[in-house]
């Protein structure tokens, strides 16, 4: 039986929460609702108390990811569902996510339809991120940055130490689940128009997302990052050697540097693969324990 904890990180979202919380309680009356108040200066905490939901307050703003971690550590359900407080996520989509999770998946993500993104710039950016992350993980990723998702609590908590405190927890958790061999599914959703001003800064947070994609890719699948770089250096070295041999009749130091760089990059990738295997330590025992619990 699913015991659902619904976690909503919020910063100065009092007006939106006043409308959102009654909708959620109407659709999921049995769910544990936790609002993590990330240093709000408005009436966010008061609205939550009036709605009779659990509210956890940070003394100052620590970031969206920090709020997610606070909520995940507190949640009592074996399923955790995350959604934003800004009104973009429609509570009526919650049953679809939970139904998909019941089919045996470990994470189900609400994938926003392309025409419901806030702006053209974000549509383009999300498309680029999705394709890059798909390349790094070897799996098709439909919506890398969606914060509307349902997860198995025991799996999600394994990766809390990886999650940044900023806005990129969806990026990190999605790639970590894929590279750890956990099952991920998508449910198409139509994002609603956001109420109020977004806290995401497109350029700054976009750059951060890009770096995190590379970091998580290098962490869980190093050779997908290091091997292409090694091959690029190797073939550049061959090309430069042929050029200098035909024009000057000799082998240059630059060619040697490119070949050595290629070899070192390859060896770093091999070493990183061995280190990354440590992230799977205990995973098989965890799966056997879960199977024993199900059988009993």
Distance CA 204, CA 206 (A): 5
Under-50 pLDDT residues of the chain: 290-291, 294
Tokens representing residue 216 in the block:
């998580």
**Among positive and negative, which fits the CA dihedral 194, 69, 134, 264?**
positive
CATH superfamily of 4-220: Spore Coat Polysaccharide Biosynthesis Protein SpsA; Chain A (3.90.550.10)
Distance CA 186, CA 143 (A): 8
Instruction: Strand 4-10: give its sheet, edge to edge.
Output: 54-58, 32-38, 4-10, 79-82, 149-152, 107-112, 184-189
Nearest to 81 by CA among 63, 66, 100, 57: 100
Which residues are within 8 A (CB) of 95 and not within 5 positions of it... i.e. 6 or more apart? Answer: 27
Q: Are 266 and 226 in contact (CB under 8 A)?
A: yes
List the helix and strand counts (H, then E) for the chain: 11, 7
> So what's the pLDDT on residue 183?
93
User: Which phi-psi region, left, alpha or beta, contains residue 138 (left: φ > 0; alpha: ψ -120 to 50)?
Assistant: left
* Packed helices 14-27 and 94-101: angle between N→C axes, nearest 10 degrees: 50
Q: Are 153 and 191 in contact (CB under 8 A)?
A: no
- How do the domains of the chain map onto residue ranges? 4-220, 222-295
Burial status of residue 96 (CB atoms within 10 A of its CB: 0-12, 13-18, 19 or more): middle
Q: Is the pTM of this model over 0.85?
A: no
Neighbours of 285 (CB within 10 A): 9
């Amino acid at each position: 039986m699913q015991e659902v904890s619904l976690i909503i990180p919020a910063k100065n979202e009092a007006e939106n929460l006043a409308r959102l919380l009654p909708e959620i309680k109407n659709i999921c009356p049995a769910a544990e609702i936790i609002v993590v108040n990330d240093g709000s200066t408005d009436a966010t905490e008061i609205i939550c108390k009036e709605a009779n939901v659990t509210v956890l307050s940070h003394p100052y703003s620590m970031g969206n990811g920090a709020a997610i971690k606070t909520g995940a550590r507190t949640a009592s359900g074996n399923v955790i569902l995350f959604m934003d407080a800004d009104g973009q996520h429609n509570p009526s989509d919650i049953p679809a996510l939970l139904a998909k999770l019941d089919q045996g998946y470990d994470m189900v993500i609400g994938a926003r339809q392309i025409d419901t993104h806030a702006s053209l710039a974000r549509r383009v950016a999300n498309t680029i991120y999705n394709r890059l992350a798909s390349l790094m993980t070897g799996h098709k990723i439909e919506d890398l940055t969606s914060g509307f998702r349902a997860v198995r609590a025991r799996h999600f908590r394994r990766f809390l130490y990886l999650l940044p405190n900023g806005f990129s927890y969806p990026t990190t958790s999605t790639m970590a689940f894929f590279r750890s061999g956990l099952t991920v599914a998508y449910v198409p959703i139509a994002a609603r128009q956001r109420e109020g001003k977004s806290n995401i800064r497109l350029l700054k947070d976009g750059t951060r997302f890009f770096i995190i994609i590379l970091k998580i890719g290098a962490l869980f699948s190093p050779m997908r990052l290091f091997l292409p770089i090694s091959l690029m250096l190797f073939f550049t070295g061959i090309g430069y050697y042929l050029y200098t041999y035909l024009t000057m009749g000799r082998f240059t130091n630059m060619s040697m540097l490119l070949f050595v760089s290629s070899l070192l990059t390859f060896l770093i990738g091999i070493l990183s693969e061995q280190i990354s295997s440590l992230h799977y330590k205990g995973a098989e025992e965890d799966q056997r324990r879960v199977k024993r619990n199900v059988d009993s």
